[in-house]
């Protein structure tokens, strides 16, 4: 394959690592992670074998939602460093063949963005229509739309006597993507970063971008949570068919440059794999990847995982490509979500193998590779606006955003001073330094798996076929040209009788229970929580 073509596949083949910059590494001792800190850890990431980093927002922001409220798309927030630091990060990452993906938060801006300040300054300001203004009587809401983070989605503006729309916090007014000038201005911001050499974007809440042009009220539906937002069917305030056209234009912009990509965050209350896949268009003309969060809501049950994987993969267009994600900065960490008592550690190994050997691009959230757990945050230390609003009913998202556990030094080697969020109490035993030195650690398991994925085409790009073997075990083949791999994941803490008798000789590649390199024709059982990947050694 030509070098250029191979490079353009980086986002399909490699593992992408999500960094929450506030919590990754603090280089200047203010208790908050920064860009220089990320640069310090690039060698670690290179050794882990990852192909790209996705940074949660680092743009200038008043931080009402920790960067998901941007006040200047072209500036780096001083808490993270300077533009020079960021340019150095891009250079240093590229030197190590690590791509850089930025979070683009473009459904809304901060209420302190100059565009919104203009827009709200008077009804006839030229930027008025860059945001969504409706109604003119206080108390009469334009429709029944609710904000995702609670309350109505409409905020009254005293000065100009109208409501503006905010799908999230009132400090996050939604922009009007139907306005051609707004669209032009946004695309100019994207181009700015493409020119700087950014390799890709994660599109925040992509399915919210376009709203119904008639502003119809949502019909009621029965939701899962006792939250007014979930009692509506969101057919008018998001997931509009008109979004397709916008994404096509966006894709065309990226396609002007080599090997760039975008992955969309598709929000849905209930698992909805077809919805995520729909934003891939025909597989070549919209998003490159779309997160399906169905897996996140799964119970630890092999048959449910299988069902969800089949549903999601089954709805991906022929030329499209899936991705796999088990954790992020908005969800309880997988270790805590799927874990149960002493079994949590073992399940983390099974999940690691599933993530890295599944067909599709794996997204790995920082700290998952050492099995970081969710931290219970005392009320006085809560930072997340969702936690502040809903505590104790919902503690918010700080628990999955705690500082990376680098070593057993004070503050876990994350910072020289008290971090912005409390550290997990297990950091002295669970950290990068000690896992690097321990045979059989989760971190080394991830490193082995990622190295294996790099070596083997079947795991990177091959087809996937499930084997129906025995309840509680997820098993599949991955095959490409001459290679064939077989994965066994025992989701349960019990031995499984199973006669493996496939033709030919098989060799262990990576396993929790078997020695790598070991060869056999058959075996009779799987160990409790065994995770094994084999390769077939074809007779020549």
Which three-class secondary structure string do you get for 405-435?
CCCCCHHHHCCCCCCCCCCCCCCCCCCHHHH
Q: How many residues at the interface with ligand GLC, by CB under 6 A?
A: 9
92 binds ligand GLC (CB under 6 A): no
Smallest Cα–Cα separation from 280: which of 291, 269, 272? 291
Work out how close the CB of 157 gets to ligand GLC at its nearest, in angstroms, rounded to a whole number. Answer: 21
Has 256 been annotated as catalytic? yes
204 binds ligand GLC (CB under 6 A): yes
- Tell me the pairing of strands 523-526 and 496-500: antiparallel
By C-beta, is 201 or 476 nearer to ligand GLC?
Answer: 201
Work out how close the CB of 248 gets to ligand GLC at its nearest, in angstroms, rounded to a whole number. Answer: 23
400 binds ligand GLC (CB under 6 A): no
55 binds ligand GLC (CB under 6 A): no
Work out how close the CB of 57 gets to ligand GLC at its nearest, in angstroms, rounded to a whole number. Answer: 9
Applying CB under 6 A, among 11, 17, 54, 68 the residue interacting with ligand GLC is 68
205 binds ligand GLC (CB under 6 A): yes
Contacts for 152-160: CB closer than 8 Å, 24+ residues apart: 153/237, 157/120, 157/133, 159/120, 159/121, 160/120, 160/121, 160/122, 160/123, 160/133
Work out how close the CB of 105 gets to ligand GLC at its nearest, in angstroms, rounded to a whole number. Answer: 5
Smallest Cα–Cα separation from 63: which of 172, 180, 137, 166? 172
Binding track over 167-196 against ligand GLC, x by CB under 6 A: -x----------------------------
Work out how close the CB of 148 gets to ligand GLC at its nearest, in angstroms, rounded to a whole number. Answer: 7
- The rounded radius of gyration (Å) of the Cα atoms in the chain is 24
65 binds ligand GLC (CB under 6 A): yes
Smallest Cα–Cα separation from 529: which of 331, 296, 310, 339? 339
How far is 92 from 191, CA to CA, in rounded Å? 21
Catalytic member of 204, 265, 384, 398: 204
CA 53 vs. chain centroid, Å, equals 11
Sign for the pseudo-dihedral over CA of 50, 66, 264, 311: positive
Has 204 been annotated as catalytic? yes
By C-beta, is 238 or 240 nearer to ligand GLC?
Answer: 238
Work out how close the CB of 368 gets to ligand GLC at its nearest, in angstroms, rounded to a whole number. Answer: 16
Tell which positions 321-350 bind ligand GLC, by CB under 6 A.
329-330
292 binds ligand GLC (CB under 6 A): no
Burial class for 340, CB neighbours closer than 10 Å (0-12, 13-18, 19+): exposed
How far is 490 from 488, CA to CA, in rounded Å? 6
Smallest Cα–Cα separation from 100: which of 12, 18, 206? 18
By C-beta, is 232 or 302 nearer to ligand GLC?
Answer: 232
Identify the helix (H) or strand (E) that includes residue 189: helix 180-196
Q: What CA–CA distances, in Å, run from 118 to 112, 128, 131, 174, 423?
A: 10, 7, 10, 14, 41
By C-beta, is 395 or 413 nearer to ligand GLC?
Answer: 395
105 binds ligand GLC (CB under 6 A): yes
Binding track over 239-278 against ligand GLC, x by CB under 6 A: --------------------------x-------------
Work out how close the CB of 265 gets to ligand GLC at its nearest, in angstroms, rounded to a whole number. Answer: 6
Residues engaged in binding ligand GLC (CB under 6 A): 65, 68, 105, 168, 204-205, 265, 329-330
- Which residues belong to the active site? 204, 256
């Amino acid at each position: 394959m030509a070098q250029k073509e191979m490079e353009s596949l980086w986002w399909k083949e490699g593992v992408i690592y999500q960094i929450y910059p506030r919590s990754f590494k603090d280089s200047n001792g203010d208790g908050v992670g920064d860009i220089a800190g990320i640069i310090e850890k690039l060698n670690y990431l290179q050794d882990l074998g990852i192909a790209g980093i996705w940074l949660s927002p680092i743009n200038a922001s008043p931080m009402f939602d920790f960067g998901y409220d941007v006040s200047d798309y072209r500036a780096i927030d001083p808490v993270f460093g300077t533009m020079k630091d960021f340019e150095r990060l891009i250079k240093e990452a590229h030197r190590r063949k690590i791509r850089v993906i930025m979070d683009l938060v473009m459904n809304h801006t901060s209420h302190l963005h100059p565009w919104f300040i203009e827009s709200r300054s008077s009804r006839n300001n030229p930027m008025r229509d860059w945001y969504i203004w409706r109604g003119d009587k206080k108390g009469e809401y334009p429709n029944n739309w609710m904000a995702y983070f609670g309350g109505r989605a409409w905020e009254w503006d005293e000065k100009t006597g109208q409501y503006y729309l905010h799908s999230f916090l009132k400090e996050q007014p939604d922009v009007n993507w139907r306005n051609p000038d707004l669209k032009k201005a946004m695309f100019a911001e994207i181009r700015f970063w493409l020119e700087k050499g950014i390799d890709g974007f994660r599109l925040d809440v992509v399915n919210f971008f376009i709203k119904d042009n008639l502003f119809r009220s949502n019909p009621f539906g029965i939701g899962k949570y006792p939250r007014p937002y979930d009692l509506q069917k969101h057919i008018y305030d998001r997931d509009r068919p008109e979004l397709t056209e916008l994404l096509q234009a966006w894709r065309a912009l990226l396609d002007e440059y080599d090997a760039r990509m975008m992955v969309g965050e598709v929000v849905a209350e209930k698992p909805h794999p077809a919805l995520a896949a729909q934003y891939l268009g025909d597989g070549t003309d919209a998003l490159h990847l779309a997160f399906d969060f169905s897996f996140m809501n799964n119970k630890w049950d092999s048959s449910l995982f299988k069902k969800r994987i089949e549903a999601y993969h089954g709805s991906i267009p022929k030329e499209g490509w899936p991705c796999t994600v088990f954790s992020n900065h908005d969800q309880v960490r997988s270790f805590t979500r799927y874990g149960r008592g002493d079994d949590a550690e073992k399940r983390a190994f099974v999940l690691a193998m599933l993530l890295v050997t599944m067909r599709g691009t794996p997204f790995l959230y920082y700290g998952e590779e050492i099995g970081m757990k969710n931290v219970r945050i005392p009320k006085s230390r809560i930072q997340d606006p969702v936690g502040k609003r809903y505590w104790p009913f919902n503690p918010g998202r700080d628990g999955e955003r705690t500082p990376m556990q680098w070593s057993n030094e004070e503050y876990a080697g994350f910072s020289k001073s008290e971090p912005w969020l409390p550290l997990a109490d297990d950091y002295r035993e669970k950290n990068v330094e000690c896992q690097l030195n321990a045979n059989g650690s989760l971190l080394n398991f991830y490193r082995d798996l990622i190295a294996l994925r790099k070596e083997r085409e079947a795991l990177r790009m091959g087809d996937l076929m499930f084997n129906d073997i025995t309840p509680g075990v997820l098993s599949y083949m991955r095959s490409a040209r001459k290679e064939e791999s077989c994965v066994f994941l025992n989701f349960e803490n019990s031995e499984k009788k199973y006669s493996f008798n496939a033709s030919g000789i098989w060799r262990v590649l990576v396993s929790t229970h078997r020695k790598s390199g070991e060869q056999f024709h058959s075996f009779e059982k799987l160990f409790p929580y065994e995770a094994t990947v084999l390769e077939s050694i074809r007779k020549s």
